[in-house]
Structure 1
Amino acid sequence: MLTDALRMALGTLTALPVPPPRTIDRRVAGGAMLLAPVAAVPLAVLAGLVVLAGGALGLPAIAVAGLAVGAVGLASRGLHLDGLADTADGLGASFDRERALQIMRRGDSGPTGVATLVLVLIVQCGALSGAISAGHGVTAATAGTLVSRWVLALCCTRGIPSARPEGLGATVAGSIHPLWTIATLCAAAGLATLAPGMDWWRGPLAVTAAFAAAGAVLWRCTARLGGITGDVLGACVEIAAAAAWLALAP
């Protein structure tokens, strides 16, 4: 089960070529979401290396931040960015639930989705550039990438339904016991106190901000759409990343 869960996490959240899971059930799906931070380690390392290389080359902080954010986006196949745009389009297009879900299924992005995507990326790059200028850019880049994937446990907690009977949301919705969600939050906050190059409290602050921001998106989408979809998961990840990097900026 653990192997299948890790394969599902890596195959869903990254562009790494991994064998498909032999079976996918609720236990595997829940395990995959709990292992999301582990699957995000290659993405975090990539972000840190980009920031390190940019600093060595003397590039402007905002350019380095843009390269790091872009590298993570490409290495995750743009999955979460697409989810953010689709979710924004669905929430902004219609008060009719079915109409909103239909809009989210389409492959194109409307003005609301594009504007939301651009604004969130601006916030991410601006906040990360602030951390780079403050001298802890590598830590911020890696920590923000990891923490933003950690919030997937919150999104898949038991009691949060799927908005559709099919798709990724239906597979992972409600697959994690609330005690596991609390444990992941505490683990993330505890590990964040060890982040090098920063005050001990800044890491837990980033975890709190990321979970709070993702929780707000989750609450809105559950109330508006009736539950989560794969797009909603992506939106929560990107919003959480922006919140984490804002907390890690000076």
Structure 2
Amino acid sequence: MTLDALRLAFGTLTVLPAGMPSRVDREVGGRAMTLGPLVGLVIGAIAAGVVALAHLIRPDADLLAAVLGVLVVAGVSGGLHLDGLADFADALGSRRDRETMLRIMKQSDIGPFGVVAIVGVLLLDVAALTACLQAGFGWQAVLIATTASRLTLPWSCRTSVPAARPDGLGTIVAGTVGPGTATLATVVVLGAALVLTWPEPARIAGAAAAVLLAVVTSVLSTRRARSALGGSTGDVLGATVELALPVALLTLALSM
């Protein structure tokens, strides 16, 4: 079952080859979402390697390294979360009734709110990562932020958040992760982030704040989804990941 959860997590959250799970149900789905931070760690490690290499080759090209890092994160994720962000933004921006918003989220096109949301978060990602690079904390920042942003997945799938519709990814993973499990995942991510920033007090505080604010982002996003849609969907999960990433990067940038 652990192997199925790993395959489901990497198969749905990345473009990396993961194989097909032999079983997909709510138990496997919950475990897969709990593994979200591990997926973020792998994505972040790939992006961190690209950032470090680019900065090694051109130490004066912080903006270039930041753009490459952000593009790698988006590319390895398959653009899935950005698509979810656009759909969620278009639905909320429509200010329509619940059924209409759910229908908007299922459409394949992207409206003006979705475009602004994608452009906005990518610009924030690049700007914040550039600031981190200028402070000498580039690859570490992208690694921490990418992992923290995927920590939102177990929190977004906690047992108090139902699925908004009877089909789709939300029905498999919504309400499957207990608060204790999400808290344990947070402690693990916090510990890893502190190891990367030890022993500098400002960076330790920034890393801790970045992780905790990612969790806060998840709580606020799912609360908005419950009030507007009646629960969570796969798009909401993706949108929350994309919102948490600039939150974490900005927190790190401002604490350097």
| TM bucket, shorter chain | over 0.9
Distance 1:216 1:231 in 2: 15
**Matched residue type, 1:31:** R
Which of the residues 226, 229, 239 maps onto 1:225? 229
SS of 2:196's partner is: coil
Query: Shift of the alpha carbon at 1:63?
Result: 2.1
Structure 1 residue 237: Cα displacement: 0.3
CA distance in 2, matches of 1:158, 1:181: 10
Q: Which residues in structure 2 correspond to 1:7-156 (within 5 Å)?
A: 7-58=7-58, 60-156=61-157
Greater Cα offset, 164-173 or 216-225: 216-225
In 2, are the aligned partners of 1:46 and 1:71 still within 8 Å (CA)? yes
The Cα shift of 1:37 comes to: 1.7
Please name the residue that 1:215 is paired with.
Answer: 219
Aligned residues with identical type, % of pairs:
40
State the 1:190 CA deviation: 2.6
1:207 Cα shift? Answer: 0.4
Secondary structure of the residue that 1:200 maps to in structure 2?
A: helix
| Per-residue deviation, 1:182 | 1.7
How many Å separate the matches in 2 of 1:94 and 1:39?
A: 34
Equivalent AA in structure 1 for residue 219 of structure 2:
G
Counterparts of 2:40 and 2:19, CA distance in 1: 17
Once residues 245 and 206 of structure 2 are traced to their aligned partners in structure 1, the CA distance between those partners, rounded to angstroms, is 15
- Alignment partner of 1:159: what SS? coil
Distance change (3 Å), C-alpha of 1:62 and 1:214 = farther
Greater shift, 48-57 or 223-232, is seen at: 48-57
Cα offsets for 1:210-244 (capped at 9, x unmatched): 11122222211111111111000000001111111
The separation in 1 between residues aligned to 2:207 and 2:40, in whole angstroms, is 17
Native 8 Å contact 2:43 2:146 kept in 1: yes
Q: Given the alignment of the two structures, is residue 239 of structure 1 paired with residue 240 of structure 2, yes or no?
A: no
* Residue of structure 2 equivalent to 1:186: 187
8 Å CA contact 1:14–1:40 kept in 2: the answer is no
Deviation of 1:119 (Å):
0.8
Supply the RMSD in Å over aligned alpha carbons: 1.3
- Give the C-alpha shift of residue 47 in structure 1: 0.9
Shift of residue 248, structure 1, vs aligned partner = 0.9
Q: CA deviation at 1:94?
A: 3.1
Q: Name the amino acid aligned to 1:53.
A: L
- Taking the aligned partners of 1:191 and 1:17, their CA distance within structure 2 comes to 26
Q: For 2:204, what is the secondary structure of its paired residue?
A: coil
Local SS of the residue matching 2:192 = helix
8 Å CA contact 2:161–2:222 kept in 1: the answer is no
Q: 179-188 vs 46-55, which deviates more?
A: 179-188
Does the 8 Å contact 2:84/2:239 carry over to 1? yes
Q: Give the counterpart letter for 2:230 in structure 1.
A: G
Amino acid at match of 2:236: V
Shift of residue 187 of structure 1? 2.2
CA contact (8 A) 1:192 1:204 kept: yes
CA distance in structure 2 between the aligned counterparts of 1:63 and 1:105, rounded to whole angstroms = 35
| Per-residue deviation, residues 126-179 of structure 1 (Å, max 9, x unmatched) | 111111110010100111111111110100000201111000011100011111
* Whole-Å separation in 1 of the counterparts to 2:34 and 2:109: 30
Unaligned segments of structure 2, at least 5 residues = none
Deviation at 1:70, TM superposition (A): 0.7
Is the contact between residue 37 and residue 149 of structure 1 (CA under 8 Å) also seen in structure 2? yes
